[in-house]
Structure 1
Amino acid sequence: MESKEVVKLLGFWVSQSSMRVEWALRLKGVEYEYIEEDIFNKSPLLLELNPVHKKVPVLIHGEKVILESFVILEYIDETWKQYPILPQDPYDRAMARFWAKFAEEKFLDNAFKAMCTQGVQKEGYLKQAKEYLEKIEEVLIKGKSKFFGGENIGYLDIVLGVISYWLPLWEVVGCMKIVDPIQFPSTTLWMENFRNHPVIKDKLPPRDKMVVYYQWRSKEIGARMASARKS
C-alpha cells in the first residue's frame, strides 16, 4: 500500500546528489516539498537532521529521516512500488549497486578533480577519468538498450545522470574533453536520451548559473588541493 505520509527533501540547487533524489521522486509520481539549503551557511534544521555529515540531501518521510543519496534512492524504491528503479533480479541489482559506486568514487571523482586542477596533475586525472569511462561504456554496449535500466530510466541511470548534464559543463569550466563522441558513442547517445527524458529535462539547474558556480568552486577547490600538496 502506498505511503501517504508527508515527504520533504532538503537539497541544494546544484547538488548532483539532491537532484538524483528529485528525479526518483518525480519518476514515481511522489509529491514532495522541496526545502532549499545554503550548504555554506547550514540551517539549524539540516544540522539537527544530519548531525554526522551535515550534508544534503536529507529525505523526511513522516517522522523518518533518511540520509545519503544512494540509500535514499533505495528507500524510495522500496517505499513506493510504482515505476521500479532497482532491477528485480538479485544479481542485476548487485551489479547496479557496484557500477553506481564505481562511477561515483572513480569516474566522477576524477572528472571533478580534473576540472579543478592544471598541468600534469590535470592530465593524470583526465587519463584516469577516461579509463574509467571506458568501463562504463562497455556496460552500455553490453546492455544494448536505451538506458542502463532497459527501456526505462533505472537506478544506475539516475546515479550516472550527472554525466549527461554536469559533466559537459565541467568540461567547459575545466577547458577539457572527456566524453569524445567517437571514442564513447554509446555514452554520448545515452546522455542525449537521459537528458531529453521529459521528467529529467524539466528538472535541471540553470546552466548559466551553474557555470558561474563551478568557475568559483573549481578555483577554490583547486587552491585547496595545491596547498595540500605543498604541506
Structure 2
Amino acid sequence: MNRNRHRGARGLRILLALTLALASVQAGASATLVFAAASLKPALDTILASAPARAIGEFSVSYAASSQLARQIEHDAPAALFISADQDWMDAVESSGRLVAGSRSNLLGNALVLIAPADSAQQIRIGPGFDLAGALGTDGRLAIAEPLSVPAGKYAKAALVSLGAWSGVESRLVPAAHVRAALNFVARHEAPLGIVYRSDARSEDSVRVVDTFPASSHPPIVYPVALLRAGDNEAARRLLALLRDDDAARIFARFGFDPLGP
C-alpha cells in the first residue's frame, strides 16, 4: 500500500515536472530569439525593456562571444536576429547563406581600453613600446577575451602587436570566453589589468579606464546586424528598425557605443 502510494506520488511529480517543462518550452517558443555579442548586454537589455520594444513583442536574447553565436547559427539555431562584434563572424554567417538578403548593416562602433580595478593606483600611457608587462608586476596577468576567435580578444592582440607589447604579455594572459568575462576578472581583482571595450568599462563601477588604445592600432571595431533566415519574422524586422532609430542610438551612446546610423 505504501509502495503504491509512493509510486503514485512519484508519478505525480514527474507529470508536474513534464507539464512545467512543456509550459516553459511553449513560453520560449513565443519569444523572438536574438543572438547578440556579450558586450551588448547592458545597452540591449535597456532597449528591450523600453515601451517601444515591449510593444513589438517578447524577445529572448542569447549573449555570448560572436564566434560561439556564429557557430550556433551555422548549426541551424532558430535565432531571428544576429548582432556580431566584428565583421568576420558576420561574414562567416553570410557565407553560409543564413542571412536575410539585404538586411545586413553596420549598427555600432566602439573603442578598446585598458582597465584596472577601480581602487587601483596604476598609471600607464598606451603608445608604441609601452611597458605593459612591467605594469603587470611580477605575478600579474592580463585579462582579455580569447585572442584567436573572440572579437574583443582579436582586437586586443592586434593592438598589442601593433604597439610592440604582445611578446611581453603573451605568456601572461587570462583568456576569457568573452569580453564580459574578461571584465569580471578585473572587477573581482583576479587580474590587475584587462583589455575590454569602452562600453564594458562604462557599465561596471568596479573598474576604471587606465587609457584608451589608439584607433589606428587595431582594425575598426564595428558591430554589424542582420536578420537570420531561420527565425525571420515581423517582430524581428520591427526590432531591427527600432535598433536603428534615434532613441536607441541615444541609449547605445549612453552605454559607450558609437551609433553608426542607417
TM-score by length of 1: 0.28
Q: Which has the larger radius of gyration?
A: 2
TM-score by length of 2: 0.25
Whose relative contact order is higher, 1 or 2, with alpha carbons under 8 Å and at least 6 apart? 2
| Structure with more helix by fraction | 1
| Structure with more strand by fraction | 2
